[in-house]
Amino acid sequence: MNTRTLFLLLATLITGIDPSNAEENPYPVKAIEDGDTLVVEMNGQPERVQLLGIDAPENTGNPKLVRDIQRTGLKEGQLLEIGNAATDHLQSLVKPGDHIRIEEGKLRRDKYGRYTVIAYSVESRSLNQAMVEDGYAIVLGRYPLPESMKESLKTAEEKAKRENRGLWGRYPETAGAWGG
């Protein structure tokens, strides 16, 4: 069994998602917009893609940041600080010029016009899973996800909080108020 086959098998067992179902033609990453949104080239056009089932804090002023301020009682600067940290972390996982693969059949647009996707780095690591596992994003309960993916993400979030990973360790009070 070669290393790639072993990795795909382990990834499937851990996340419940088979990364080999991702499209074989990877999409070039043009930009990292924030901790859960990338811009990739699809059919020669830049397209915004949202990592399905997760939420990372905002790194710019926008309506969601305003809602987060109202919801949490935190100051704008506190939320932007953790938003920048989440963005930096996603940039450590994938950079402009890298390629990502997107799971087939998952290209749906959200209310902001972004495609919601399960995305994989060229090493076949789910970026959705990695952001939660590493403590820089939370699971969105309102999105329909495959049950195995939802369970895997929730387990990863609980573990990241328990082990003070990412935002939970660097900004415990702010992250706790934001992602509770």
- Residues paired with residue 48 on neighbouring β-strands, in sequence order: 39
pLDDT bracket for residue 8 (50, 70, 90): very low
Amino acid (1-letter code) at residue 167: L
Total structural domains in the chain?
A: 1
pLDDT bracket for residue 122 (50, 70, 90): confident
What do you get for the CA distance between the two ends of the chain, in Å?
Answer: 42
DSSP letter for 83, please.
Answer: H
Alpha helices in the chain (DSSP H): 3-15, 63-72, 76-93, 127-133, 147-162, 167-170, 172-179
Q: Is 174 left (phi over 0), alpha (psi -120 to 50) or beta?
A: alpha
- Determine the average pLDDT of the residues in 58-78: 96
Query: Is 58 in a helix, a strand, or coil?
Result: coil
CATH number where 44 lies: 2.40.50.90
Compute, in degrees rounded to 10, the torsion defined by CA atoms 65, 67, 72, 77.
20
Amino acid (1-letter code) at residue 15: T
Q: What is the pLDDT of residues 146-164, one digit of tens each?
A: 888 899 999 999 999 999 9
By mean pLDDT, which of 20-24, 26-30, 67-71, 121-125 is the weakest?
A: 20-24
What is the pLDDT at residue 111?
Answer: 85
CA distance 152 to 129: 8
Inter-residue contact 76 to 64 (CB < 8 Å): no
What is the pLDDT at residue 104?
Answer: 58
CA distance 141 to 80: 23
What is the pLDDT at residue 14?
Answer: 41
By mean pLDDT, which of 29-33, 95-99, 111-115, 172-176 is the weakest?
A: 111-115
Domain that holds residue 21: 3-179
User: What tokens were used for 107?
Assistant: 């290209």
Most confident of 12-16, 19-23, 99-103: 99-103
User: What tokens were used for 57?
Assistant: 């804090």
pTM for the full predicted model = 0.85
Nearest CA-CA partner of 85 in 121, 135, 139: 135
Q: What is the pLDDT of residues 89-121, one digit of tens each?
A: 999 999 999 999 998 555 788 888 999 999 999
pLDDT at 68 over 70: yes
What is the pLDDT at residue 110?
Answer: 85
What is the pLDDT at residue 48?
Answer: 95
Count CB-CB contacts under 10 A for residue 97: 8
Mean pLDDT of the chain: 87
